[in-house]
Amino acid sequence: MRRRALDAARASPRGGRTAERASSRSSATPARARARSSASAGQVDPNERAKFERDAALWWNETRGPFAALHAMNPTRVAFVRDAMREQFKETLGTNAMRDALRGTRVLDVGCGGGIFAESLARLGADVTAIDAGLANIEIARAHAARDPGLDGRLRYEHVAAEALGDRGETFDAVTSLEVIEHVSDPMGFAKSLGKLVRPGGALFLSTINRTARSFAFAIVGAERALGLVPPGTHSFSKFLTPGEVALLASRSGCEMRELAGMVYDPIRNTWALSTDVQINFIAHCVKAKESTKKSKD
Protein backbone atom coordinates (compact mmCIF):
# COMPACT_ATOMS: atom_id res chain seq x y z
CA MET A 1 0.00 0.00 0.00
CA ARG A 2 2.65 2.52 1.04
CA ARG A 3 5.00 1.48 -1.79
CA ARG A 4 2.42 2.32 -4.48
CA ALA A 5 1.87 5.76 -2.98
CA LEU A 6 5.63 6.33 -2.76
CA ASP A 7 6.15 5.38 -6.40
CA ALA A 8 3.52 7.92 -7.40
CA ALA A 9 5.30 10.64 -5.42
CA ARG A 10 8.65 9.88 -7.05
CA ALA A 11 7.01 10.07 -10.45
CA SER A 12 5.63 13.55 -9.79
CA PRO A 13 7.07 15.86 -12.49
CA ARG A 14 6.38 19.15 -10.76
CA GLY A 15 7.30 18.47 -7.15
CA GLY A 16 10.55 20.34 -6.84
CA ARG A 17 9.92 23.57 -8.67
CA THR A 18 7.09 24.83 -6.45
CA ALA A 19 8.95 24.01 -3.24
CA GLU A 20 12.06 25.80 -4.49
CA ARG A 21 10.04 28.87 -5.53
CA ALA A 22 8.45 29.06 -2.08
CA SER A 23 11.87 28.84 -0.50
CA SER A 24 13.41 31.46 -2.76
CA ARG A 25 10.62 33.93 -1.98
CA SER A 26 11.33 33.53 1.72
CA SER A 27 15.11 33.86 1.31
CA ALA A 28 14.61 37.19 -0.46
CA THR A 29 13.24 38.69 2.77
CA PRO A 30 15.68 41.24 4.28
CA ALA A 31 17.79 39.78 7.06
CA ARG A 32 16.66 42.40 9.57
CA ALA A 33 13.01 41.43 9.02
CA ARG A 34 13.85 37.78 9.57
CA ALA A 35 15.74 38.31 12.83
CA ARG A 36 13.86 36.91 15.84
CA SER A 37 14.50 35.35 19.23
CA SER A 38 15.69 31.74 19.46
CA ALA A 39 12.14 30.65 20.20
CA SER A 40 10.66 32.06 17.02
CA ALA A 41 13.56 32.40 14.63
CA GLY A 42 13.72 31.49 10.98
CA GLN A 43 10.88 29.74 9.23
CA VAL A 44 8.10 30.21 11.80
CA ASP A 45 5.33 32.40 10.42
CA PRO A 46 4.39 34.84 13.24
CA ASN A 47 0.80 35.04 12.03
CA GLU A 48 0.47 31.26 12.09
CA ARG A 49 2.04 31.07 15.54
CA ALA A 50 -0.35 33.68 16.90
CA LYS A 51 -3.31 31.87 15.37
CA PHE A 52 -2.54 28.63 17.22
CA GLU A 53 -1.63 30.38 20.47
CA ARG A 54 -5.03 32.10 20.55
CA ASP A 55 -6.65 28.69 20.87
CA ALA A 56 -3.99 27.15 23.12
CA ALA A 57 -6.40 26.53 26.00
CA LEU A 58 -8.44 24.25 23.72
CA TRP A 59 -5.65 21.84 22.74
CA TRP A 60 -7.01 19.03 24.94
CA ASN A 61 -10.68 19.41 24.08
CA GLU A 62 -10.79 16.06 22.29
CA THR A 63 -14.35 16.08 20.97
CA ARG A 64 -15.11 19.72 20.18
CA GLY A 65 -13.03 22.72 19.26
CA PRO A 66 -10.27 23.53 16.78
CA PHE A 67 -8.03 20.53 17.58
CA ALA A 68 -10.62 17.75 17.74
CA ALA A 69 -9.64 16.64 14.23
CA LEU A 70 -6.02 16.15 15.34
CA HIS A 71 -7.17 14.00 18.25
CA ALA A 72 -9.18 11.83 15.85
CA MET A 73 -6.20 11.58 13.47
CA ASN A 74 -3.64 10.87 16.17
CA PRO A 75 -3.98 7.06 16.47
CA THR A 76 -3.36 6.74 12.72
CA ARG A 77 -0.27 8.95 12.84
CA VAL A 78 1.08 7.10 15.88
CA ALA A 79 0.60 3.70 14.22
CA PHE A 80 2.44 4.79 11.07
CA VAL A 81 5.41 6.23 12.97
CA ARG A 82 5.56 3.33 15.45
CA ASP A 83 5.55 0.66 12.75
CA ALA A 84 8.05 2.50 10.54
CA MET A 85 10.46 2.97 13.44
CA ARG A 86 10.11 -0.65 14.53
CA GLU A 87 11.04 -1.72 11.02
CA GLN A 88 13.89 0.77 10.55
CA PHE A 89 15.41 0.12 13.99
CA LYS A 90 14.42 -3.55 14.26
CA GLU A 91 17.86 -4.56 15.51
CA THR A 92 17.37 -2.50 18.67
CA LEU A 93 13.56 -2.37 18.97
CA GLY A 94 12.70 -5.88 17.84
CA THR A 95 12.50 -7.33 21.35
CA ASN A 96 10.32 -4.53 22.78
CA ALA A 97 6.71 -5.30 23.64
CA MET A 98 4.14 -3.33 21.60
CA ARG A 99 3.08 -1.31 24.64
CA ASP A 100 6.72 -0.17 24.96
CA ALA A 101 7.51 -0.33 21.24
CA LEU A 102 9.81 2.70 21.07
CA ARG A 103 11.77 2.14 24.27
CA GLY A 104 15.43 3.00 23.70
CA THR A 105 14.89 5.73 21.10
CA ARG A 106 15.28 9.50 21.33
CA VAL A 107 12.57 11.36 19.41
CA LEU A 108 12.10 15.07 18.71
CA ASP A 109 8.61 16.38 17.91
CA VAL A 110 8.81 19.78 16.17
CA GLY A 111 5.76 22.02 16.31
CA CYS A 112 4.27 19.92 19.10
CA GLY A 113 1.38 22.29 19.90
CA GLY A 114 -0.35 21.06 23.04
CA GLY A 115 1.51 17.74 23.00
CA ILE A 116 -1.10 15.41 21.46
CA PHE A 117 1.41 13.40 19.43
CA ALA A 118 4.37 13.85 21.79
CA GLU A 119 2.51 12.28 24.72
CA SER A 120 1.58 9.27 22.60
CA LEU A 121 5.23 8.67 21.66
CA ALA A 122 6.33 8.94 25.28
CA ARG A 123 3.69 6.39 26.31
CA LEU A 124 5.25 4.00 23.79
CA GLY A 125 8.52 4.25 25.69
CA ALA A 126 10.38 6.83 23.60
CA ASP A 127 12.53 9.51 25.24
CA VAL A 128 10.73 12.53 23.77
CA THR A 129 11.75 16.15 23.42
CA ALA A 130 8.92 18.31 22.09
CA ILE A 131 9.38 21.90 20.92
CA ASP A 132 7.13 24.70 19.71
CA ALA A 133 7.64 28.36 18.86
CA GLY A 134 4.43 29.27 20.72
CA LEU A 135 4.97 29.73 24.45
CA ALA A 136 1.25 29.36 25.22
CA ASN A 137 1.26 25.98 23.49
CA ILE A 138 4.24 24.79 25.52
CA GLU A 139 2.64 25.91 28.79
CA ILE A 140 -0.56 23.97 28.02
CA ALA A 141 1.46 20.92 26.97
CA ARG A 142 3.50 20.94 30.18
CA ALA A 143 0.42 21.35 32.35
CA HIS A 144 -1.35 18.43 30.69
CA ALA A 145 1.68 16.13 30.84
CA ALA A 146 2.10 16.91 34.55
CA ARG A 147 -1.23 15.19 35.19
CA ASP A 148 0.26 11.82 34.17
CA PRO A 149 3.10 10.61 36.44
CA GLY A 150 3.87 7.91 33.88
CA LEU A 151 5.33 10.58 31.60
CA ASP A 152 7.91 11.74 34.16
CA GLY A 153 11.40 11.43 32.72
CA ARG A 154 10.08 10.48 29.29
CA LEU A 155 8.79 13.80 27.97
CA ARG A 156 10.36 17.26 27.99
CA TYR A 157 8.96 20.42 26.44
CA GLU A 158 10.98 23.41 25.32
CA HIS A 159 10.01 26.78 23.87
CA VAL A 160 12.55 26.89 21.05
CA ALA A 161 12.67 26.79 17.25
CA ALA A 162 14.15 23.87 15.33
CA GLU A 163 16.92 26.05 13.91
CA ALA A 164 18.09 27.11 17.37
CA LEU A 165 18.05 23.53 18.63
CA GLY A 166 20.12 22.46 15.64
CA ASP A 167 22.64 25.19 16.36
CA ARG A 168 23.22 23.52 19.74
CA GLY A 169 24.37 20.39 17.92
CA GLU A 170 21.61 18.11 19.17
CA THR A 171 20.52 15.09 17.09
CA PHE A 172 17.84 12.43 17.55
CA ASP A 173 17.02 8.94 16.35
CA ALA A 174 13.82 10.30 14.84
CA VAL A 175 12.37 13.75 14.18
CA THR A 176 8.66 14.22 13.64
CA SER A 177 6.86 17.31 12.38
CA LEU A 178 3.22 16.55 11.67
CA GLU A 179 0.70 18.98 10.21
CA VAL A 180 3.28 21.76 10.61
CA ILE A 181 5.16 22.36 7.36
CA GLU A 182 2.08 23.84 5.64
CA HIS A 183 2.15 26.62 8.24
CA VAL A 184 5.77 27.77 7.88
CA SER A 185 7.04 30.63 5.73
CA ASP A 186 10.06 28.79 4.27
CA PRO A 187 9.42 25.07 3.73
CA MET A 188 12.89 24.38 2.33
CA GLY A 189 14.68 26.11 5.17
CA PHE A 190 12.44 24.43 7.71
CA ALA A 191 13.05 20.98 6.22
CA LYS A 192 16.81 21.55 6.27
CA SER A 193 16.57 22.50 9.95
CA LEU A 194 14.75 19.24 10.62
CA GLY A 195 17.29 17.22 8.64
CA LYS A 196 20.11 18.71 10.69
CA LEU A 197 18.45 17.34 13.84
CA VAL A 198 18.27 13.75 12.55
CA ARG A 199 21.28 11.61 13.40
CA PRO A 200 22.97 9.71 10.55
CA GLY A 201 20.85 6.64 9.87
CA GLY A 202 17.89 8.22 11.68
CA ALA A 203 14.31 8.89 10.61
CA LEU A 204 12.35 11.98 9.61
CA PHE A 205 8.54 11.94 9.57
CA LEU A 206 6.48 14.64 7.85
CA SER A 207 2.74 14.86 7.33
CA THR A 208 0.78 17.57 5.56
CA ILE A 209 -1.99 18.22 3.02
CA ASN A 210 -1.61 17.67 -0.72
CA ARG A 211 -2.30 20.59 -3.08
CA THR A 212 -5.14 19.18 -5.17
CA ALA A 213 -8.71 20.09 -6.11
CA ARG A 214 -9.92 17.44 -3.66
CA SER A 215 -7.86 18.85 -0.81
CA PHE A 216 -9.26 22.32 -1.46
CA ALA A 217 -12.79 20.93 -1.46
CA PHE A 218 -12.25 18.89 1.70
CA ALA A 219 -9.76 20.88 3.83
CA ILE A 220 -10.86 24.41 2.93
CA VAL A 221 -14.48 24.32 1.74
CA GLY A 222 -15.63 21.29 3.71
CA ALA A 223 -13.62 21.23 6.95
CA GLU A 224 -13.37 25.00 7.46
CA ARG A 225 -16.41 26.56 5.80
CA ALA A 226 -19.14 23.92 5.72
CA LEU A 227 -18.57 21.48 8.59
CA GLY A 228 -16.61 23.70 10.96
CA LEU A 229 -14.17 20.90 11.83
CA VAL A 230 -11.41 23.51 12.09
CA PRO A 231 -11.64 27.31 12.35
CA PRO A 232 -11.87 29.30 9.09
CA GLY A 233 -8.42 30.44 7.98
CA THR A 234 -6.60 27.51 9.58
CA HIS A 235 -5.13 26.55 6.20
CA SER A 236 -3.85 28.39 3.15
CA PHE A 237 -4.23 26.35 -0.04
CA SER A 238 -1.11 27.89 -1.58
CA LYS A 239 0.98 26.47 1.28
CA PHE A 240 -0.14 22.88 0.71
CA LEU A 241 2.63 20.60 -0.60
CA THR A 242 2.49 17.66 -2.99
CA PRO A 243 4.20 14.36 -2.08
CA GLY A 244 6.75 15.09 -4.79
CA GLU A 245 7.58 18.42 -3.19
CA VAL A 246 7.94 16.82 0.22
CA ALA A 247 10.25 14.20 -1.29
CA LEU A 248 12.41 17.01 -2.71
CA LEU A 249 12.46 18.89 0.60
CA ALA A 250 13.55 15.71 2.37
CA SER A 251 16.24 15.04 -0.24
CA ARG A 252 17.68 18.54 0.10
CA SER A 253 17.76 17.90 3.85
CA GLY A 254 19.88 14.78 3.47
CA CYS A 255 17.00 12.31 3.78
CA GLU A 256 15.36 9.91 1.32
CA MET A 257 11.62 9.25 1.36
CA ARG A 258 11.14 5.53 2.01
CA GLU A 259 7.42 5.25 2.78
CA LEU A 260 4.36 7.29 1.91
CA ALA A 261 0.75 6.75 2.93
CA GLY A 262 -2.46 8.67 2.63
CA MET A 263 -4.65 9.34 5.67
CA VAL A 264 -8.35 9.14 4.84
CA TYR A 265 -11.14 10.51 7.04
CA ASP A 266 -14.43 8.73 7.73
CA PRO A 267 -16.84 11.50 8.84
CA ILE A 268 -19.49 9.04 9.99
CA ARG A 269 -17.20 7.23 12.43
CA ASN A 270 -14.92 10.24 12.99
CA THR A 271 -11.91 8.02 12.37
CA TRP A 272 -8.87 8.07 10.10
CA ALA A 273 -7.18 5.19 8.28
CA LEU A 274 -3.99 4.71 6.27
CA SER A 275 -4.53 4.41 2.53
CA THR A 276 -2.85 4.55 -0.87
CA ASP A 277 -4.95 7.66 -1.54
CA VAL A 278 -2.65 10.65 -0.98
CA GLN A 279 -4.90 13.22 -2.65
CA ILE A 280 -5.68 15.00 0.63
CA ASN A 281 -3.74 14.12 3.80
CA PHE A 282 -0.53 12.10 3.69
CA ILE A 283 2.38 11.10 5.91
CA ALA A 284 5.95 10.31 4.85
CA HIS A 285 8.80 8.32 6.40
CA CYS A 286 12.26 9.51 5.32
CA VAL A 287 15.68 8.11 6.26
CA LYS A 288 18.94 10.00 6.64
CA ALA A 289 22.01 8.37 5.14
CA LYS A 290 24.56 6.87 7.49
CA GLU A 291 27.94 8.60 7.73
CA SER A 292 29.78 5.80 5.94
CA THR A 293 27.31 5.97 3.03
CA LYS A 294 27.61 9.75 2.77
CA LYS A 295 31.41 9.61 2.77
CA SER A 296 31.51 6.93 0.10
CA LYS A 297 29.35 9.09 -2.17
CA ASP A 298 31.66 12.05 -1.60
Say how many C-beta atoms besides its own lie within 10 A of residue 3's C-beta: 12
* Closest listed residue to residue 219, CA positions, set 181, 173, 182, 258: 182
The answer to whether 111 is annotated as binding is yes
The answer to whether 222 is annotated as binding is no
- Whole-angstrom Cα distance, residue 42 to residue 263? 29
The answer to whether 109 is annotated as binding is no
HSE-CB for 151 with a 13 A CA cutoff: 22
The answer to whether 77 is annotated as binding is yes
Instruction: Tell me whether strands 255-266 and 271-275 are parallel, antiparallel or unpaired.
Output: antiparallel
Three state DSSP letters for 122-165: HHCCCEEEEECCCHHHHHHHHHHHCCCHHHCCCEEEECCCHHHH
The answer to whether 274 is annotated as binding is no
Q: What are phi and psi of 272, to 5 degrees?
A: -120, 155
- Whole-angstrom Cα distance, residue 248 to residue 19? 8
Residues 6+ apart with CB under 8 A from 150: 123
Residue stretches of the annotated binding site for Mg(2+):
179, 182-183
Binding residues, as ranges, are: 77, 111, 132, 178-179, 182-183
Residues annotated as binding site for S-adenosyl-L-methionine?
A: 77, 111, 132, 178
